[in-house]
Structure 1
């Protein structure tokens, strides 16, 4: 059964696009909204003079059979490729090779390639921050930050980080309270580019001790074409919380210093550096909701924060939101 009105989906990260694809495949029309200028959310990549830089999610894994099948399809379509970095651990400044051999996937030629391909020709309104979601006598209406109204819609799926989702779920107080209970941690990300390649075998490193949590040689990922040696550093959530309002220049300076101490080789001044602050990088703890739903009202919330906090969790949550909605329509 096809609904006469479109279904509104707020957010074009993996969760929102997973829901959109599932609904579209079932014959329903959708309308997507995103406050940013493009799709991806934390899968976003930044184009720069040093090529595409993955500032958010660095890679993802696939364990659930449903997601494994989807990723294999993405691989066939050329949207993703396996990344097998020379992986290290750093414990309090001591570098050692990592025994971790799990399969890692990245978007190709950048992480945002996945969500751009998922979006395809689906109707979307970018640069549109939805601030209010309310239900009239029969249908849903949305209001954006400029006071413009959007609708009517038969159902609404909110696929935004938990703190933002909570504010949009006021019509369903129990869902709003659940979303409000989710703490999400921030992360400072820094990208660096060097004209002379660093003399190190490290291509990815999990860090314990100090301000850094993770670092990756961005150009070691499949499809990245750069003449420069590009790196992405992620600070720990704890360090980020303590330095949340530092200037980007100071963040770059401090994390570059930590990187130079850790990497075990000479680090010259980078030819390019930039920083990005992710306020809602990951949920502080995992939940097993799958999706938040009020089927009678016709409003749903999904995202990585409803499950594992991983890319896989985001896709599964969005898919489940769409399945719940479809089941209610039958």
Structure 2
């Protein structure tokens, strides 16, 4: 079967890889210039910054087995970090919880590995899915081409994008588009900071209360990272939504002040940048595992499905959703 997968984040790459392993011809379309989605790492002169997903946990046996395989292959390692809660200048040590894993040497390394054996077309944005003689055609735009082109026909299409983006592409199947529209995702502004001198904050990751920032992490504390005082902060969903269209320089200024306030440190960074994620976290997930229409052969997967977990927006949700959709082809 000839299948198109739209989106080269973890969900899209997982689904594509499993379909390819079962003998299908799979083509992955990705609007960005690299695979990984929100498991991204920004490379700078100071080293890499994991400015998207920070880590992941494994709760379901199926994902635990996959993580174990990744660890055996040297793709993933355990982040043995010191976690705290920060509020009004007071630090509280966080209680024990699940093990936290990271890809090495950066979060995007896992996406690059999964994409290695796949036909991934980066820099190509799918703008429309059209029915065509029992199959599907894609309308595709690229920065290097002045006009849109058609791709296909395909026997099946998988949409592995954030829910808000999936809705527009699923217009060809109104019922499915309506279902995807029930999920709600929150944005996030990320802050990237590099310092010449050690801050000596006494922790590696912190959940911040009553602040513009909801999370800060010493990125260099993760295994196989380049040494240095590299920090990543994530603004809260509420603050990010309120300031979604603000000038990035203004956002950087505000979040840097929030970082200094939360850490009680006035050391100025030698590197500072922000990144806007429009669809960062599923705050109202769909209770199902994925969407799939066996007659029309079109479906959707991603971290905006609960996939049997309590909550959504995790890397585990993306994996379980994608694996379930791939299994639907054999059903």
For the aligned pair, the TM-score class normalised by the smaller chain equals over 0.9
Aligned to 2:45: 49
Rounded to whole Å, the distance in 2 between the matches of 1:324 and 1:218 is 38
Measured against aligned partners, the alpha-carbon deviations of 1:243-282 in whole angstroms (never above 9, x if no partner) come to: 1122222212111111111113x33210101100000001
Q: How does 1:132-171 map to 2 (within 5 A)?
A: 132-145=128-141, 146-171=147-172
Which runs of 5 or more structure 2 residues have no equivalent in the other structure? 142-146, 307-311
Do residues 209 (structure 1) and 205 (structure 2) align? no
Do residues 77 (structure 1) and 78 (structure 2) align? no
3-state SS of 2:191 partner: strand
- Contact 1:141–1:151 under 8 Å retained in 2: yes
Do residues 236 (structure 1) and 232 (structure 2) align? no
Rounded to whole Å, the distance in 1 between the matches of 2:159 and 2:18 is 15
Measured against aligned partners, the alpha-carbon deviations of 1:163-211 in whole angstroms (never above 9, x if no partner) come to: 1101111121111011122221000001000000102111100112111
Deviates more, 1:210-219 or 1:280-289: 280-289
Which runs of 5 or more structure 1 residues have no equivalent in the other structure? none
TM-score norm. by structure 2 comes to: 0.94
3-state SS of 1:288 partner: coil
Shift in Å, 1:52: 0.8
Q: How does 1:1-330 map to 2 (within 5 A)?
A: 3=1, 6-145=2-141, 146-226=147-227, 228-264=228-264, 266-307=265-306, 308-327=312-331
Rounded to whole Å, the distance in 1 between the matches of 2:46 and 2:32 is 23
Rounded to whole Å, the distance in 1 between the matches of 2:67 and 2:325 is 19
Deviates more, 1:49-58 or 1:242-251: 242-251
- Contact 2:192–2:274 under 8 Å retained in 1: yes
Shift in Å, 1:287: 2.5
3-state SS of 1:209 partner: coil
State the Cα RMSD in Å: 1.1
Rounded to whole Å, the distance in 1 between the matches of 2:322 and 2:130 is 21
Shift in Å, 1:35: 0.3
Shift in Å, 1:286: 3.0
- Contact 2:183–2:285 under 8 Å retained in 1: no
After the TM superposition, list the runs of 4 or more consecutive aligned residues in structure 1 that deviate by more than 6 angstroms.
none
